[in-house]
């Protein structure tokens, strides 16, 4: 494949920062993916102006290696959330997830960012009877709490172009967008406001020293700031002792393949997933089938690795999955295959707020839901840094200090 290990999304090049030596700043943000750029954006909205954004190899960020889904909810279904946390907490978490998705939508509209944004819904498809029962229970719980969700029969799914499936759940509020276009557009807004952005800065460690935060970097030595934000997601344990000690996030390799443009229009254009979310897909703006996942069928589930090369077994599994579950009328030719390093959160929820330091903060740990959670989580982080109130559910479920 011509795009082997190269994400389809990076056909639009990611904006990069200056290669020159960065200067000290009031707040330094480590990582220029959606979390980092969004943190800079929301801090600027609060009036902070002396901000420094640094990255090392931005093209490897999970931001450019996802499937473009902006989904209500968390990694767990509503049925699982209620079983784990109770109905009241589950409802609050679902509401929070809706809020963060809408922050993406509202920011795109506010700045007229051309990111192919569509709020066209999300389809969850069962591939066995037990998953169908869980979907039906989730629909009932969602409707009881006032959330829009509806059942889709097997017959309806077959008419939409799927096969070897059971029932499904359609949820109308979720969305999709081009992650590189959104990140680049938002970064452009920040740069025009005065954000300092430097690429090629490898952060080796982040430490609180007196009333400052010191970054040990290659090749520029020490950089100092009044505060720092670790927005490196799965890579956070490599530069933060706090993350490494408490194992807040675990890296895992997620993999996606993307076809050449299809000749025929597939009926379902919006985000959809199968097998409890382990396989996930969309049809791109130029009519390509993009599908990722299948890692749960590998030994070890692709956990614990920073190896970004693709796994041929997963690639083959995804191709076979398409043959088994899509009733396509044409032979699919695959053009792109890539992997990205995601972060599995220890709690299943993002970590937002201060670490064990008064001056080092984080916004990370999205467990495969980074596009939907990163931008809104960064807004909450900016509130925390600025001393503004945040929802109680954030303090209860997203507070990294819970582990101290």
Q: Please give the chain's pLDDT, 404 residues, in tens.
A: 656 689 999 999 999 999 999 999 999 999 999 999 999 999 999 999 999 999 999 999 999 999 999 999 988 999 999 999 999 999 999 999 999 999 999 999 999 999 999 999 999 999 999 999 999 999 999 999 999 999 999 999 999 999 999 999 999 999 999 999 999 999 999 999 999 999 999 999 999 999 999 999 999 999 999 999 999 999 999 999 999 999 999 999 999 999 999 999 999 999 999 999 999 999 999 999 999 999 999 998 999 999 999 999 999 999 999 999 999 999 999 999 999 999 999 888 999 999 999 999 999 999 989 898 999 999 999 999 999 999 999 999 999 988 77
Query: Exposed, middle or buried by CB within 10 Å (0-12, 13-18, 19+), for 330?
Result: exposed
pLDDT score recorded for residue 297:
93
Rounded to whole angstroms, the Cα distance separating 92 from 280 reads: 25
pLDDT score recorded for residue 326:
98
H helical segments located in 219-352: 241-246, 312-325
Residue 258: name the closest of 31, 41, 10 by CA. 10
Rounded to whole angstroms, the Cα distance separating 217 from 222 reads: 6
Rounded to whole angstroms, the Cα distance separating 33 from 231 reads: 8
- The CA-atom distances, in angstroms, between 344 and each of 113, 122, 304, 315 are 29, 22, 10, 21
- The CA-atom distances, in angstroms, between 277 and each of 22, 261, 308 are 41, 24, 21
Helix (H, G, I), strand (E, B) or coil at 228: strand
For the chain, the domains span 3-66+180-248+347-403, 117-174+250-345
CA angle, 160 as apex, 154 and 278 as ends, to 5°? 70
Question: Residue 395: CB partners within 8 Å, gap ≥ 6?
Answer: none
Rounded to whole angstroms, the Cα distance separating 104 from 373 reads: 9
Helix (H, G, I), strand (E, B) or coil at 153: coil
Residue 157: name the closest of 130, 134, 126 by CA. 126
**3-66+180-248+347-403: what fold?**
FAD/NAD(P)-binding domain (3.50.50)
Rounded to whole angstroms, the Cα distance separating 303 from 251 reads: 6
The domain defined by 117-174+250-345 carries CATH number 1.10.3720.10: no
Backbone φ and ψ of 151, nearest 5°: -80, 140
Quote the longest CA-to-CA distance of the chain.
65
Rounded to whole angstroms, the Cα distance separating 151 from 135 reads: 8
Rounded to whole angstroms, the Cα distance separating 171 from 279 reads: 17
Residue 79: name the closest of 69, 91, 67 by CA. 91
Backbone φ and ψ of 263, nearest 5°: -75, -35
pLDDT score recorded for residue 1:
62
């Amino acid at each position: 494949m011509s795009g082997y290990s190269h994400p389809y999304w990076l056909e639009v090049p990611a904006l990069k920062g200056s290669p020159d030596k960065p200067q000290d700043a009031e707040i330094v943000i480590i990582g220029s993916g959606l979390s980092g750029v969004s943190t800079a954006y929301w801090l600027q909205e609060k009036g902070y102006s002396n901000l420094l954004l640094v990255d090392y190899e931005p093209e490897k960020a999970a931001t450019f290696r996802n499937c473009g889904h902006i989904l209500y909810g968390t990694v767990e279904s509503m049925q699982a959330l209620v079983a784990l946390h109770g109905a009241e907490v589950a409802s609050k978490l679902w509401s929070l997830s809706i809020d963060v998705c809408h922050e993406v939508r509202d920011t795109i509209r506010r700045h007229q960012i051309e990111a192919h944004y569509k709020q066209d819904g999300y389809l969850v498809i069962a591939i066995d009877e037990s998953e169908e029962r869980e979907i039906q229970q989730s629909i009932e719980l969602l409707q009881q709490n006032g959330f829009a969700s509806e059942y889709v029969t097997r017959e309806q799914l077959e008419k939409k172009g799927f096969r070897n499936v059971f029932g499904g759940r359609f949820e109308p509020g979720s969305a999709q967008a081009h992650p590189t276009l959104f990140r680049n557009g938002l970064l452009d807004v920040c740069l025009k406001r005065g954000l300092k952005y430097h690429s090629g800065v490898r952060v080796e460690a982040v430490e609180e020293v007196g009333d400052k935060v010191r970054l040990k970097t290659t090749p520029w030595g020490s950089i100092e700031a009044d505060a720092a934000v670790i927005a490196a997601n799965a890579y956070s344990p490599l530069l933060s002792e706090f993350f490494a000690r408490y194992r807040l996030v675990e890296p895992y390799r997620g993999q996606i393949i993307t076809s050449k443009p299809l000749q025929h229009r597939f009926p379902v254009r919006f985000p959809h997933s199968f097998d409890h979310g382990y396989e996930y897909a969309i049809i791109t703006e130029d009519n390509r089938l993009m599908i990722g996942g299948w890692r749960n069928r590998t030994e070890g589930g692709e956990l614990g690795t920073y190896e970004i090369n693709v796994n041929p077994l997963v690639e083959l599994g995804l191709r076979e999955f398409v043959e088994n579950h899509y009733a396509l009328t044409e032979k699919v030719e695959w053009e792109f295959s890539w992997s990205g390093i995601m972060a599995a959160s220890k709690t299943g929820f993002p970590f937002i707020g201060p670490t064990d330091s008064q001056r080092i903060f984080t916004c990370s740990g999205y467990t495969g839901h980074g596009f939907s959670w990163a931008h809104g989580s960064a807004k909450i982080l900016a509130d925390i840094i600025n001393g503004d109130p945040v929802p109680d559910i954030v303090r209860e479920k997203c507070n990294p200090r819970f582990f101290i």
